[in-house]
A = this chain, B = another copy of it.
């Protein structure tokens, strides 16, 4: 703000503003990517694919990934419980 001496409210306000700007910038980027995803679905649809099926495939592949990760986590839990954790 150009002032050398600022009371703590001003510092706070300035910090707060910075946080908010970073968040809003990131949210804007996120929204842009969401739009890109929508575009890809549209393009796929325009090429004759069934969007519903593609969504389901993507969803199933995500579930596979999630399940695999959860299985690794529970393995770690088991090993910990057995005192064999790395």
Contact = CB atoms under 8 A, between A and B. Distances in A.
Interface of A: 15-16, 19-20, 22-24, 26-27, 29-30, 33-34, 36-37, 40-41, 43-44, 47, 49-50, 52-54, 56-64, 66-67, 70-71, 73-74, 77-78, 81
B16 A54 contact: yes
Q: How many copies does the complex hold?
A: 4
Given A30-B33, A50-B81, A67-B67, A61 B24 contact: yes
Contacts of A56: 70, 73-74, 77
Contact of A49 (B16, B30, B58): B16
A82 B37 CA distance: 26
A19 B33 contact: no
